Amino acid sequence: MTDKTIDLFASEDSLPDPGERIEELRTMIQKHDKAYYTNAQPLIADREYDKLFAELVELEKANPDLIRSDSPTQKVGGAPIKGFRTIQHKIPMLSLSNTYSREELTDFDRKVREGLLKSYASEKAAYKYVTELKYDGVAMSLRYKNGQLDLALTRGDGTSGDDVTQNIKTLKNIPNTVNKIELMAVPLANIEVRGEVYMDDSEFLRINKLKEDSGEKLYANPRNLTAGTLKLLDPKQVEKRRLKMVSYWLHSDDHDLSSHQENLELLKKLGLPVGEHISLCADIEEVFQFIDKSGDRRGGLDFGIDGVVIKVDSTEQQQELGFVSRSPRWAIAYKFEAEQARTKLNNIILQVGRTGAITPVAELEPVFLAGSTISRATLHNADYIKEIDVRIGDTVYIEKGGDVIPKVTGHVPEERPADSVEFQMPEFCPCELKSPLIRPEGEANHYCDHPECKSQIKRRIEHFISRNAMNIAGGVKFTEQFTDWGYLNSVADIFDLKKKSHEIMKLEGWGKRSLEVLFSSIEDCKTLPFAKVLYAIGIRFVGSGASKVLANHFKTIEALKSATKEQLTEVSDIGDKIAESLINFFADEKEMKILDRLIAAELNFEQATPEESGEEQTLAGKTFVLTGELQSMKRNAAKDKIEKLGGKVTSAVSKKTSYLVAGNNPGSKYDKALKLAVEILDEEGLIALLE
Ligand code: IVH
């Protein structure tokens, strides 16, 4: 391992101490919770997350003195999303403990039995389970007051959630008024209903098709799109997405309810949707049968399930069993392994990345898997193909992880054609230049290192203009067309486009307005900080984190360029691999020509530290929060300007906030600022302050 990363496979004598590992796991889990719950963009597959979580639980169990109240194991869920009113749940919204193993399920059953035997004489300790499908969506709580839908809250952190009532009211299968029912002559009208909001696969495909047609990035899966839709501030947009909800829990303020099965019946009578395929199981054997059946059904459903939920039926027994920290003892989720599909591998093609890295990609007989039709999947690299031993013509397994990109995971030996041959990595790049591929020592990837390779240029431009880099409007359409038409042979050419605007204006698909937007976003690049520019250039292994570290440390491109390998590796987080790549980059004449043109285009190649920026620090000590749309500049540009003058921009309004800058449609931060008497500036006010 050349980089200064933590070696998780360290030998016995250098085993990390449990305290360190616990800290590391907590940090990772918190990061993933934020990605999952707050940003609705999971970074890893559920399975990987569950493994990290289980490891933390085990370590804390073995070292109880290291348990802290802020550990993810002591919490209920993720953080509430910003932009909506946050309201406390009447009863905390817990999640379930989950397992992938049948042994653990038997164990769960034993604990239920033993738990009930402690409380009841044996004949009363008999119990049943209700088994349901585990819908893969977003948990929701609905409160009905006098039969009217009064409040819809997301789970949030389990204690309080976001008020998404207006969005939920657009769901066609959720009644605004429940049917009138009486129990013992008292209406069942003040209730809380919990369930899962989800999107049908067919609806997900419809929306992604629209995205695809307009050349936009696709949504990863129905769950992410559901979470993202619930966060939309405009209910009309929510309505267009045809979300659904299924209910699986009922609480009444006025009645004691006796069993889960009865509750599901009551939910139906109230007019609320309950799940398909619910079963009452007399013992754990019947639960296993339900699991098997559900696994078989999974592929034929028009919605995603990621397992089944097993609940003790009697409400009294549920109360007797109670809870452990974040989950009930009376219920458990059995999760399915990542969904797999089988299909034919028609061909293996090579895809060229921005650094010239070659990824073999499987071209497949189209097959439907977990919410979308798959016709391509990654094969990572030549070693991976060898390891899983796949050949063109094979029937292969494909899987989806937490990401939108599926991968090939193996083949069916019995279905291998007799005449198939082992895959050989081609010697030449698939682009028109057909330059030889090289495989650097110690690397798994092959590379095309021809600087004029068109595929590579396209990927570099794609990266350069991407949101986290220079954020230039135009996307795939811009990259593909302008490269194919010969206007872009390197990222530096982007800054010469304006000179050719008369010519470009005549091109199909590029009108005056779209070019105005394009040129204005190209102009905005000049306001972006050095670290972003460094990242955008796309030096091999230099990601956004490393770019920030390098910009902070070296301050100028000149200093970075003249740094030796030793000086580079002295910087924390910069290992041999990154250092060598930087040195190669700066030694490459062609790259340097591009770099010089980017410098001449007035991009920031210096870190604007307070001392060096020369700007008077008129905003030192002031904290700003930006909300709503600004007209004359992008939020990022406003942020840069504030920071240049010594101010700080944060995301949440608090008593310490000096100014809230409110653009159009400001949202809940505005209300909070009013409440806390934080000074509110409109756009003109901000400009005056900046000037
Ligand atoms: S019962 C206290 N039933 O899975 C019991 N949950 O971690 C609460 N889910 O938070 C949950 N389908 O978002 C239950 N049939 C079902 C479910 C279900 C999906 C979700 C729910 C819950 C998570 C478990």
- Between 611 and 498, where is the model more confident? 498
- Architecture of domain 98-335 in this structure: 2-Layer Sandwich (3.30)
Query: Which of 97, 135, 313 should be mutated for ligand 1, with most atoms under 8 A from CB?
Result: 135
Is the model's pLDDT at 612 over the cut of 70?
no
Instruction: Give whole-number Cα distances, 78 to 153, 156, 442, 604, in Å.
Output: 14, 6, 40, 37
Closest atom of ligand 1 relative to the 249 alpha carbon:
1
CB 680 within 8 A of CB 659: yes
Cβ neighbours around 665 below 10 Å, total: 11
The pLDDT tens digits for 90-118 are 999 988 999 999 999 999 999 999 999 98
What is the rounded CA–CA span in Å between residue 257 and residue 235? 34
* Superfamily for domain range 623-690: BRCT domain (3.40.50.10190)
Predicted confidence at residue 215, as pLDDT, reads: 62
Q: What is the pLDDT of residue 548?
A: 87
pTM of structure: 0.55
Q: Which of 133-142, 373-382, 532-541, 648-657 has the lowest mean pLDDT?
A: 648-657
Ligand 1 pocket: which of 50, 93, 95 to mutate (most atoms within 8 A of CB): 95
Q: Whose CA is nearest to atom 23 of ligand 1?
A: 95
Contacts 24+ apart (CB under 8 A), 477-482: 477/215, 477/509, 478/518, 481/507, 481/509, 481/510
**DSSP secondary structure string for all residues of 290-354:** HHHHHHHHGGG-SS-EEEEEEEESBHHHHHHH-EETTEETTEEEEEPPPPEEEEEEEEEEEEE-T
Pocket test for ligand 1, best of 33, 89, 134 (most atoms within 8 A of CB): 134
pLDDT at 642 over 90: no
Q: Which atom of ligand 1 is nearest to the CA of 139?
A: 13
> Using an 8 Å Cβ cutoff, are 547 and 553 in contact?
no
pLDDT at 6: 31
Nearest atom in ligand 1 to the alpha carbon of residue 95 is 7
**Ligand 1 center to residue 329 CA distance, Å?**
14
Q: Containing H/E element for 135?
A: strand 129-135
> Which of 180-184, 476-480, 554-558 is the least confident region?
476-480
Residue with CA closest to ligand 1 atom 4: 134
Centre of ligand 1 from the C-alpha of residue 77, in Å: 12
Is pLDDT at 404 greater than 80 in this prediction? no
- Cα 96 to ligand 1 centre (Å): 7
Query: What residue owns the CA closest to ligand 1's atom 18?
Result: 134
In angstroms, the CA 209 to CA 199 distance is 15
How far, in Å, CA of 144 to CA of 174, rounded? 11
Q: In the prediction, which pLDDT does 16 show? A: 56
Tokens encoding 478:
């811009």
Q: Ligand 1 pocket test: pick from 97, 136, 196, 249 the residue with the most ligand atoms within 8 Å of its Cβ.
A: 196
Taking CA atoms only, the protein residue closest to ligand 1 atom 1 is 248
CA distances, 434 to each of 428, 447, 455 (Å):
5, 12, 11
23-46 pLDDT, tens digit per residue, is 889 888 888 776 665 555 667 777
Distance CA 673, CA 655 (A): 8
Interval 275-299 mean pLDDT: 94
pLDDT of residue 214: 67
Distance from residue 264's CA to the centre of ligand 1 (Å): 14
Q: pLDDT by residue (tens digit) across 439-486?
A: 988 888 999 988 788 899 999 999 999 988 999 988 888 898 899 889
Q: Atom 10, ligand 1: which residue's CA is nearest?
A: 95
The CATH homologous superfamily to which domain 340-426 belongs is: Nucleic acid-binding proteins (2.40.50.140)
Cα 536 to middle of ligand 1, angstroms: 42
- 313 CA distance to ligand 1 middle (Å): 15
> Does 510 have pLDDT greater than 70?
yes
Predicted pLDDT of residue 115: 94
* Distance of alpha carbon 141 from alpha carbon 94, whole angstroms: 11
Expressed in angstroms and rounded, the spacing between residue 434 Cα and the centre of ligand 1 is 53
Residue 116 φ then ψ, to 5°: -75, -35
Query: Above 70 in pLDDT, residue 256?
Result: yes
Separation of first and last alpha carbons in the chain: 50
Class of domain 454-600: mainly alpha
What is the pLDDT, as a whole number, of residue 11?
A: 33
pLDDT at 81 over 50: no
Task: Note the pLDDT of residue 457.
Answer: 92
- Residues with Cβ < 8 Å from 31, sequence gap 6 or more? 43
Given ligand 1 and candidates 248, 261, 264, which is best to mutate, with the most ligand atoms within 8 Å of its CB?
248
Query: Is 90 exceeded by the pLDDT of residue 506?
Result: no
> Mean pLDDT highest for which of 207-221, 400-414, 673-687?
673-687
Give CATH 2.40.50.140 domain extents, the chain.
340-426
The DSSP bridge pattern shows strands 160-162 and 182-183 to be unpaired
Amino acid, res. 609: T
Architecture of domain 12-74: Orthogonal Bundle (1.10)
Half-sphere exposure of 337 (CA within 13 A, CB side): 8
Question: What does the alpha-carbon distance between residue 75 and residue 70 come to, in Å, rounded to a whole number?
Answer: 7
Give yes or no for residue 658 having a pLDDT over 60. yes
Q: Higher confidence at residue 490 or residue 651?
A: 490
Classify strands 148-154 and 331-335 as parallel, antiparallel or unpaired. unpaired
Cα 615 to middle of ligand 1, angstroms = 54
Q: Tell me, what's the pLDDT at 534?
A: 96
| Residue closest by Cα to atom 13 of ligand 1 | 139
**Choosing from 134, 532, 641, 644, which is the catalytic residue?**
134
Lowest mean pLDDT among 217-221, 379-383, 593-597: 217-221
Which protein residue's CA is at the shortest distance from atom 12 of ligand 1?
A: 134
The CA distance from 170 to 310, in Å, is 30
| Rounded distance from Cα 97 to ligand 1 centre (Å) | 10
Give the integer Cα–Cα distance in Å for 326 and 461: 46
Give me the pLDDT at residue 689, please: 84
Tell me the mean pLDDT in the region 516-528.
Answer: 91
DSSP 498-509: GGGHHHHHTSTT
Closest CA to 230 of 73, 58, 38: 38
Nearest CA, atom 8, ligand 1: 95
The amino acid occupying position 472 is I
What DSSP assignment string belongs to 103-153? HHHHHHHHHHHHHHHHHS-GGGG---EEEEEEE-SEEEEEEEETTEEEEEE
Q: Whose CA is nearest to atom 22 of ligand 1?
A: 95
Range list of β-strands (E), 146-286: 148-154, 160-162, 182-183, 186-187, 191-198, 244-252, 279-281
669 is catalytic: no
Percentage above 90 pLDDT, the chain: 50
DSSP per residue, 521-575: HHHHGGGS-HHHHHHHHT-TT--HHHHHHHHHHH-BHHHHHT--HHHHHTSTT--
Query: Which residues sit with their C-beta closer than 6 Å to ligand 1?
Result: 94-96, 132, 134-135, 139, 196, 248-249, 275, 309, 328, 331, 333
Q: Which atom of ligand 1 is nearest to the CA of 133?
A: 15
- With a cut of 60, say whether residue 324 has pLDDT above it: yes
Q: Tokens 């050419």, residue? A: 493
Residue 14, pLDDT above cutoff 50: no
Distance 95 CA to ligand 1 centre (A): 7
Alpha carbons 579 and 595: distance in angstroms, whole number:
18
Q: Which ranges in the chain are annotated with CATH 1.10.287.610?
A: 12-74
Tracing tokens 């010969």 back to the chain, one arrives at: 486
Give backbone dihedrals phi and psi of 322, rounded to 5 degrees, phi first.
Answer: 70, -150
DSSP 464: H
Rounded distance between C-alpha atoms, residue 167 and residue 148, angstroms:
16
Write the CA distances from 497 to 481, 489, 535, 538, integer angstroms: 13, 12, 22, 21
- The predicted model gives 152-178 an average pLDDT of 92
Distance separating alpha carbons of residues 309 and 139, to the nearest angstrom: 14
- Choose from 223-237, 297-311, 504-518 the range with maximum mean pLDDT: 297-311
- Asked if residue 629 has pLDDT above 90, the reply is no
Mean pLDDT within 490-510: 88
For the chain, the average pLDDT equals 87
Rg, Å, the chain Cα set: 29
Distance, CA of 235 to CA of 239 (rounded, Å): 6
Q: Quote the tokens at residue 242.
A: 């045809």
Tokens linked to 671: 């209300």
Ligand 1 atom with minimal separation from the 138 CA: 13
In the chain, residues under CATH classification 1.10.150.20 are 454-600
Res 665: pLDDT = 76
- Which ligand 1 atom lies nearest to the CA of residue 328? 2
Token pair for 173: 């299968």
Q: Where in the chain is the domain with CATH 3.40.50.10190?
A: 623-690
Closest CA to ligand 1's atom 9: 134
* 533, pLDDT greater than 80: yes
In ligand 1, which atom is closest to the CA atom of 327?
2
Q: Whose CA is nearest to atom 2 of ligand 1?
A: 94
Provide the pLDDT for residue 663.
Answer: 83
How much is the average pLDDT of 553-579? 91
Calculate how far, in angstroms, residue 309's C-alpha sits from the geometric centre of ligand 1: 7
